[in-house]
Amino acid sequence: MLNLEWFRTFKAIYETGNLSTAAQALFISQPGVSLHLNSLETFTGYRLFERETRKMIPTERGTILYNCIIDSMNKLVAAEQSFCRNSKVDKPTISVGMGFETFEHTLEEHVAQLPFNLILRFGEYPQMLHDLHTGALDLVVTSQKGQQPNLEYTPFTTERIVLICGSNTMTEQFDKWVSDNDRTALRLWLKEQVWYTTAADMEHLKNFWVTNFECLPDFKPNYVVPNFSSILRCLRNGKGFAVMPDFLCKKEIAQNTVRLAWEGSPHLENRLHFGKRRKTIYAKEIRQLEQLLTKNWL
């Protein structure tokens, strides 16, 4: 018979890419993880992962299976968290979706002081809004709005998408073209420079380019790094350009490790919202998170 624990183990291996890391996440032994995976592969009749040194690569069948079960598994996890009681302290558990850098800049240092348990989810906005709709998440910090009738969105701040550069980047001619509003010269010069972007989100660069030059960027960034924090570390006291939300780089700009090259004209801004379900049993905890995030955004 199929054992649902096999699916839990399969999900952990898929998301961590490693047997030992999956074992640690599940609090079971590595042989136990291997046994579950072997049993599931025997049951399905297909190899679900290609085994490499310290790495598990999902096969096509493995990816299909993961996509089939992930929503159901998330609902089971949510149910487990909602109905599991701690014998000493019955703390509510709140699941929140947001960008990694948003968490890092506004919430990370305050997690230990929260009076409730917290589970963070980082991912694409459409998927997070879907999970909010289905109950897998309780709060999402988002610049996008879904159409689900059971969700409501409260605006709380605005992020401006700006062009930054390393502090050693030579921009005298660039500054003159900005002053003269010579868009053609700006565009041609910028496309020849060194560019950094992130693997997960190139939308900021594309939207900034379209807003200011009325065309898509016709160049390939030189360096694609994991996140905006990586970009800031790469540009620190160096050379090159990147486009990112202003709140993520205001500290580095104040410290002169990177420079604000251009805010663009017209300004490109995103209205950020707190997304939540209209009916929730965690209204008090969500309100605390909203107040904390708003305070630390300013």
Check which CATH number belongs to the domain holding 43 and give it.
Answer: 1.10.10.10
Model confidence at 85, pLDDT cuts 50, 70, 90, reads: low
Top pLDDT among 297 and 273 is at: 273
**pLDDT > 90 fraction of the chain, expressed in percent and rounded:** 59
**Contacts with 226 (C-beta within 8 Å, 6 or more apart), sequence order:** 198, 199, 200
Model confidence at 237, pLDDT cuts 50, 70, 90, reads: confident
Mean pLDDT estimate for the chain: 89
* Assigned domain for 102 exists: no
* Assigned domain for 56 exists: yes
**Mean pLDDT to the nearest integer, 162-185:** 95
pLDDT at 232: 93
Asked whether the predicted pLDDT for residue 23 surpasses 90, the reply is no
Nearest to 95 by CA among 123, 56, 54: 123
Residue 281 dihedral angles phi and psi, to the nearest 5°: -85, 0
pLDDT at 298: 67
- Cα separation of 46 and 33, whole Å? 17
Asked whether the predicted pLDDT for residue 32 surpasses 90, the reply is no
Give me the number of domains the chain comprises. Answer: 2
Strand 139-142 and strand 93-97: pairing?
A: parallel
**Mean pLDDT to the nearest integer, 26-55:** 89
Asked whether the predicted pLDDT for residue 106 surpasses 80, the reply is yes
Report pTM: 0.64
* Assigned domain for 98 exists: no
pLDDT at 6: 92
End residue of a domain, out of 84, 114, 132: 84
* Assigned domain for 298 exists: no
Asked whether the predicted pLDDT for residue 88 surpasses 60, the reply is no
* Assigned domain for 287 exists: no
**Mean pLDDT to the nearest integer, 176-203:** 91
Residue 167: give the domain boundaries: 158-269
pLDDT at 74: 85
**Mean pLDDT to the nearest integer, 237-265:** 93
- Cα separation of 187 and 206, whole Å? 13
* Assigned domain for 113 exists: no
pLDDT at 84: 61
Shared domain check, 257 and 166? yes
End residue of a domain, out of 49, 69, 84: 84
* Assigned domain for 179 exists: yes
Nearest to 56 by CA among 30, 29, 87, 89: 30
Check which CATH number belongs to the domain holding 231 and give it.
Answer: 3.40.190.10
Give the CA angle between residues 280, 286, 291 to the nearest 5°.
150
pLDDT at 203: 86
Shared domain check, 67 and 168? no
**Mean pLDDT to the nearest integer, 261-287:** 93
pLDDT at 82: 66
* Assigned domain for 49 exists: yes
The model's pLDDT over 124-161, given as tens digits with 9 standing for 90+, comes to 888 899 889 888 899 999 998 988 899 999 999 999 99
